[in-house]
């Protein structure tokens, strides 16, 4: 059988997304449901693949099937492509499997040429309208299909406006449009060496090819990369009968969401323009009217539209983003898709829809991308702080952002790569700015509405964005904008609040986010479903408190070295390191002891009743000392001055010590339990501090569950020696204090040998915690700092690696060691407690892996805890081991 490449809208349905693309599948589905969709057909993604296989040619099969479909369209509409008296006009619209807003351009009014434009004029009895359509088509086709820079058209139009002495398009007469058209045609000849293609089928063929080509344009590639959309999917092309929103004041075009995409509130939300065509609304050239006003202007159309919105939402069981056009009082639906939304809206809509009986709890849980919760968890503006508000625009995407003003996407990207926070300020954004948008902390535009390019893209990325801020007057040449009496130059700092639309001069105070009832409800549902525990990586009482607030079920990793780094303690720590003898070292440790005890006291108190895993000192000692270079400079200076011989002596001594501690490979050097083996008194002091804090709290009536963790064990003997140190210290202390305390001793599994010999190590361990950061470094043999700075991004770009393994657990390599470690460990000790404490503990795919591997808990940074809780629930649902009762409402 021949491949089917072309499908009429009534031959397809919602399930055929991979073949028809999202837009095509939904147009087909709506056609089936009897909605007023202009007729058309879809050239499939298979045709796109065939196009690339045949050296970017449409095969005879594809062309033949297009002709047949076109013939059907002609029969049904009574119009004919290229017919002088009754021309068929179509739009050519790209549509890939995943919606890629603004990525691939649409051509409207295709089929117009010097003859059919006359037919259109006669049919509509409106010459001006017909020639307006024609000039739009010449420009769109020239820009999108022929690749002619659009500013050439803009300049030509401006020139004619200037000659005519007018400023806006509606003031131009039919004669003016004729001149614009001549100018546009000349541009085509000049730029391509050929006249504008007059044959409508040639136009169609060129347009379809251009859509296929656009799958591989730069901005499409960037978008796909940013959203992890596979390269091989290809795009489909939709060819659809034109309807006209620009036929007078009883016509118009607009976009609406069935619920508010910023807040999730269940009210129709959108914008429209009277007497306008297609892209006018989204392009942000004219600022549109809010949809409510349509109720006054066209009550019947509004009513009908409301019903259709309801119908579509009930059908797709999700919030819809709908494009519509009204032609002389008749409503047409041109597109529907699941609407993009902020995380806050996503949570509210999902929870509301459960309460409305539309979806189940499980579905609600599965609908929220855990990563998107970052948006909710991020900080906003402190409303009480003093702020110098200099302008207000549309609140297009919530969240606050502070950064340097930048007027150009390339510069934004460059500065961001240097670690600067930037706010991209543009009159409007286009898909060409996408890399700048990705790099910026926030976006501010002076034109365009809530559905403009900048708004849609920023919401999708969870970035702060203000649109249509018309008060600010941007001068791109001078690299500045003016608002009232202020002039803001490139590089000046502003703050934007995308939730309210306020633009603030300078930096503004930020506050912790507030959690909506819906968010709490969702997390409670997740709690019911999830099986793996979620703990926090927290090193101090504040983080412990935040973690508890987010629902942490314990601390999975408390790093003690951060306590050492504190500026008041570092001199004592250095004394301890520089000590020449054990008694000397003990003296310094004695001074550190009460300080550490106090740290642990604070943490245990916050976490009362919950387990706290404390890792004993891990980093190489020289990290606490000044660098060789600094010391060399100082020593040299002192030698030259010859003033303070005793200071010089001291410094030289320090330098010598630092030099002896120098390591060629600190990551693989004298660190972790290797320190504890050589200097057991350090670990002993830490254990004493931990247990003294526990005793202190016990006497206050608070129970603690300390888990003492030995880092970097690679051989069971390392652990047994360290465990003896812990027990001896504990024994001595309990006798001294006449108190009994419970504690456990375990180890991190973070070097391959530990995973390989986990059965032996488990003999000495009460628990394992997989330290997947170091385990990734040691398994790959990458030092993270070197890898990420040098070759890792190349590895990911060129698909040597699917992901950065420090962000997403490498399941087939590092994960295999985790699995092996878990299995071998439990073979020795069936009730061995297992957890993971690398950064992967807060990443959804890694969490699923941990759950499926049978770990007891994951541990992640405080702000990722809600993300981890949701991901943990999703892991259960995805693994199909969901308890059946949870799927009932
Ligand atoms: P995008 O994916 O960028 O939204 P679309 O193909 O949806 O691109 O179209 C761009 C604009 O053109 C939209 O406003 C859409 O409603 C309008 N449009 C597309 N096809 C037609 C048509 N057949 N008649 C009238 N307007 C159309
Ligand atoms: Mg669209
Ligand atoms: Mg480690």
Name the helix (H) or strand (E) containing 40.
strand 40-43
Pairing state of beta strands 400-406 and 493-497? antiparallel
Does the structure show a pLDDT above 50 at 882? no
Whether ligand 1 lies within 6 angstroms of the CB of 21 is answered as no
Q: How far is the CA of 869 from the centre of ligand 2 (A)?
A: 35
Does the structure show a pLDDT above 50 at 354? yes
* CA–CA gap between residue 316 and residue 335 (Å, rounded): 13
**pLDDT given for residue 886 in this prediction:** 39
Residue 761 forms part of a structural domain: yes
Q: Which of 453, 533, 622, 840 is catalytic?
A: 453
Low-confidence winner among 332-341, 359-368, 791-800 (lowest mean pLDDT): 791-800
Residue 344 forms part of a structural domain: no
Does the structure show a pLDDT above 60 at 232? yes
Whether ligand 1 lies within 6 angstroms of the CB of 251 is answered as no
Ligand 1: atom nearest CA of 95 is 2
Does the structure show a pLDDT above 70 at 881? no
* Residue 669 CB contacts under 8 Å (≥ 6 apart), including other chains: 620, 663
Residue 542 forms part of a structural domain: yes
Among 837, 779, 849, 841, residue whose Cα is nearest residue 811: 849
Q: How far is the CA of 358 from the centre of ligand 2 (A)?
A: 26
pLDDT tens sequence across 173-184: 889 999 999 999
Q: Note whether 730 and 683 are same-domain residues.
A: yes
- Work out the pLDDT band at 247, boundaries 50, 70, 90: confident
The ligand placed nearest to the CA atom of residue 96 is 1
Q: Note whether 550 and 588 are same-domain residues.
A: yes
Per the prediction, the chain carries an average pLDDT of 92
Q: How far is the CA of 618 from the centre of ligand 3 (A)?
A: 7
Higher pLDDT, 248 or 767: 767
Whether ligand 1 lies within 6 angstroms of the CB of 278 is answered as yes
Does the structure show a pLDDT above 70 at 462? no
Hey, what are 574's tokens?
């250095």
Q: Note whether 195 and 145 are same-domain residues.
A: yes
Find out whether 849 and 857 touch, Cβ atoms under 8 Å: no
- Work out the pLDDT band at 1, boundaries 50, 70, 90: low
856-872: average pLDDT: 93
Q: How far is the CA of 787 from the centre of ligand 3 (A)?
A: 17
681-697: average pLDDT: 97
- Work out the pLDDT band at 31, boundaries 50, 70, 90: very high
Does the structure show a pLDDT above 50 at 163? yes
Residue 286 forms part of a structural domain: yes
pLDDT tens sequence across 377-423: 766 777 677 889 999 998 888 789 999 999 999 999 999 988 899 99
Whether ligand 1 lies within 6 angstroms of the CB of 252 is answered as no
For 200, phi then psi, to 5°, come to -60, -35
Q: How far is the CA of 888 from the centre of ligand 3 (A)?
A: 43
Name the helix (H) or strand (E) containing 576.
helix 570-578
For 73, phi then psi, to 5°, come to -60, -40
Q: Note whether 559 and 421 are same-domain residues.
A: no
Name the domain count of the chain: 5
Low-confidence winner among 78-82, 155-159, 235-239, 576-580 (lowest mean pLDDT): 576-580
Low-confidence winner among 448-457, 524-533, 597-606 (lowest mean pLDDT): 448-457
Q: Looking at ligand 1, which residue's alpha carbon is closest to its atom 14?
A: 278
Domain boundaries, position 383: 378-511
Higher pLDDT, 881 or 72: 72
Q: Please report, for the domain that includes residue 281, its CATH number.
A: 3.30.470.20
Residue 1 forms part of a structural domain: no
- Work out the pLDDT band at 103, boundaries 50, 70, 90: low
- Of 338, 364, 398, the one marking the end of a domain is 338
Q: Note whether 574 and 723 are same-domain residues.
A: yes
Find out whether 117 and 82 touch, Cβ atoms under 8 Å: no
- Of 241, 262, 289, the one marking the end of a domain is 241
- Work out the pLDDT band at 2, boundaries 50, 70, 90: confident
335, 336, 337, best to mutate for ligand 1 pocket (most atoms within 8 Å of CB): 335
Hey, what are 138's tokens?
């010449």
* CA–CA gap between residue 170 and residue 397 (Å, rounded): 32
Residue 541 forms part of a structural domain: yes
Cα–Cα separations (whole angstroms), residue 493 to 70, 169, 401, 487, 605: 56, 37, 10, 12, 41
Residue 453 annotated to the active site: yes
DSSP codes, 849-880: HHHHHT-SEEEE-GGGHHHHHHHHHHHHHHTT
Q: Note whether 695 and 678 are same-domain residues.
A: yes
State the CB neighbour count (10 A cutoff) for residue 759. 17
- Work out the pLDDT band at 883, boundaries 50, 70, 90: very low
DSSP 770: E
Percentage of the chain beyond pLDDT 70 is 97
Q: Which of 133, 704, 837, 860 is catalytic?
A: 837
DSSP codes, 553-572: -SEEEEESHHHHHSTTTHHH
Low-confidence winner among 471-480, 599-608, 639-648 (lowest mean pLDDT): 639-648
Residue 357 forms part of a structural domain: no
Find out whether 428 and 445 touch, Cβ atoms under 8 Å: yes
* CA–CA gap between residue 273 and residue 655 (Å, rounded): 74
Ligand 1: atom nearest CA of 99 is 2
Does the structure show a pLDDT above 60 at 835? yes
Q: Note whether 620 and 753 are same-domain residues.
A: yes
What three-state secondary structure class fits 236?
Answer: strand
Does the structure show a pLDDT above 60 at 701? yes
Q: Note whether 656 and 672 are same-domain residues.
A: no
- Work out the pLDDT band at 304, boundaries 50, 70, 90: very high
Q: Looking at ligand 1, which residue's alpha carbon is closest to its atom 6?
A: 93
Q: Please report, for the domain that includes residue 504, its CATH number.
A: 3.50.30.10
- Of 186, 220, 241, the one marking the end of a domain is 241
């Amino acid at each position: 059988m021949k491949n089917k490449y072309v499908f009429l809208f009534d031959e397809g349905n919602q399930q055929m997304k991979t073949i028809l693309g999202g837009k095509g599948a939904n147009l087909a589905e709506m056609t089936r449901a009897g909605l007023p969709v202009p007729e058309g057909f879809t050239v499939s993604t298979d045709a796109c693949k065939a196009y690339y296989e045949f050296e970017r040619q449409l095969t005879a099969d594809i062309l033949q099937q297009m002709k047949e479909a076109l013939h059907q369209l002609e029969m049904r509409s009574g119009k004919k492509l290229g017919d002088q008296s009754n021309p068929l006009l179509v739009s050519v619209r790209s549509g890939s499997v995943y919606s890629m807003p603004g990525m691939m351009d649409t051509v409207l009014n295709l089929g117009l040429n010097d003859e059919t434009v006359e037919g259109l004029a006669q049919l509509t009895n409106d010459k001006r309208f017909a020639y307006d359509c024609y000039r739009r088509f010449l420009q769109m086709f020239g820009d999108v299909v022929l690749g002619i820079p659009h500013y050439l058209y803009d300049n030509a139009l401006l020139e004619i406006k200037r000659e005519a002495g007018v400023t806006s398009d509606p003031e131009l007469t039919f004669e003016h449009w004729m001149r614009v058209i001549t100018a546009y045609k000349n541009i085509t000849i000049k730029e391509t060496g050929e006249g504008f293609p007059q044959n409508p089928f040639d136009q169609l063929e060129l347009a379809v090819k251009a859509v296929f080509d656009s799958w591989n344009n730069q901005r499409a590639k960037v978008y796909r990369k940013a959203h992890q959309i596979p390269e091989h999917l290809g795009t489909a092309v939709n060819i659809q009968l034109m309807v006209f929103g620009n036929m007078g004041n009883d016509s118009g075009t607009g976009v609406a969401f069935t619920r508010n995409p910023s807040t999730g509130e269940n009210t129709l939300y959108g914008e429209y323009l009277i007497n306008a065509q297609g892209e006018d609304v989204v392009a942000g050239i004219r600022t549109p009217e809010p949809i409510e006003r349509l109720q006054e202007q066209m009550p019947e159309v509004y009513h009908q539209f409301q019903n259709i919105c309801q119908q579509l939402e009930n059908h797709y069981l999700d919030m819809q983003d709908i494009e519509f056009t009204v032609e002389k009082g008749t409503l047409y639906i041109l597109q529907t898709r699941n609407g993009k939304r902020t995380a806050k809206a996503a949570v509210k809509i999902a929870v509301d829809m459960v309460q409305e009986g539309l979806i189940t709890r499980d579905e609600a849980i599965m609908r929220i991308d855990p990563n998107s919760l970052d948006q909710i968890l991020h900080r906003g503006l402190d409303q009480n702080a003093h702020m110098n508000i200099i302008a207000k625009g549309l609140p297009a995407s919530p969240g606050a952002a502070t950064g340097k003003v930048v007027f150009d996407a390339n510069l934004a990207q460059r500065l961001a790569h240097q670690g600067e926070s930037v706010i991209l300020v543009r009159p409007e954004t286009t898909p060409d700015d996408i890399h700048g948008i990705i790099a910026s902390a926030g976006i501010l535009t002076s034109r365009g509405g809530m559905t403009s390019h900048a708004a849609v893209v920023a919401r999708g990325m969870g970035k702060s964005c203000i649109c249509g801020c018309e008060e600010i007057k941007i001068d791109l040449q001078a690299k500045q904008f003016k608002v009232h009496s202020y002039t803001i130059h490139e590089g000046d700092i502003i703050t934007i609040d995308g939730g309210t639309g306020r633009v603030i001069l300078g930096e503004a105070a930020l506050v912790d986010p507030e959690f909506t009832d819906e968010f709490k409800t969702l997390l409670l549902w997740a709690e019911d479903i999830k099986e793996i525990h979620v703990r926090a990586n927290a090193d101090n009482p504040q983080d412990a408190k935040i973690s508890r607030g987010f629902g942490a079920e314990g601390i999975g990793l408390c790093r003690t070295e951060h306590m050492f780094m504190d500026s008041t303690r570092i001199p004592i720590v250095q004394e301890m390191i520089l000590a020449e003898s054990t008694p000397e070292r003990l003296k310094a440790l004695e001074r550190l002891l009460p300080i550490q005890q106090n740290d642990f006291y604070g943490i245990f108190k916050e976490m009362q009743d919950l387990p706290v895993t404390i890792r004993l000192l891990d980093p190489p000692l020289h990290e606490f000392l000044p660098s060789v270079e600094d010391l060399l400079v100082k020593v040299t200076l002192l030698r030259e001055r010859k003033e303070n011989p005793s200071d010089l002596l001291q410094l030289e001594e320090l330098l010598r010590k630092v030099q002896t501690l120098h390591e060629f490979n600190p990551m693989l050097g004298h660190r972790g339990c290797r320190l504890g083996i050589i200097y057991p008194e350090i670990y002993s002091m830490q254990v004493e501090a931990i247990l003294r804090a526990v005793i202190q709290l016990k006497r206050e009536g608070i129970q603690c569950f300390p888990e003492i963790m030995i880092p970097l064990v690679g051989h069971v003997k390392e652990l047994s020696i360290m465990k003896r140190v812990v027990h001896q210290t504990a024994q001595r202390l309990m006798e001294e204090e006449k108190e009994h305390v419970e504690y456990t001793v375990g180890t991190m599994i973070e070097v391959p040998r530990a995973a390989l010999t986990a059965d032996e190590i488990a003999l000495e361990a009460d628990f394992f915690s997989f330290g997947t950061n170091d385990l990734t470094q040691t398994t790959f043999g990458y030092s993270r700092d070197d890898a990420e700075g040098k070759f890792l991004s190349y590895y990911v770009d060129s698909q040597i690696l699917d992901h950065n393994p420090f962000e997403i657990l490498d399941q087939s390599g590092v994960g295999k060691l985790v699995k092996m470690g878990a299995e071998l460990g439990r073979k020795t000790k069936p009730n061995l407690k297992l957890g993971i404490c690398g950064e992967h503990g807060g990443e959804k795919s890694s969490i699923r892996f941990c759950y499926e591997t049978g770990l007891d808990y994951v541990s992640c940074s405080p702000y990722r805890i809600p993300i981890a809780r949701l991901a943990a629930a999703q892991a259960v649902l995805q693994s199909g081991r969901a308890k059946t009762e949870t799927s009932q409402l």
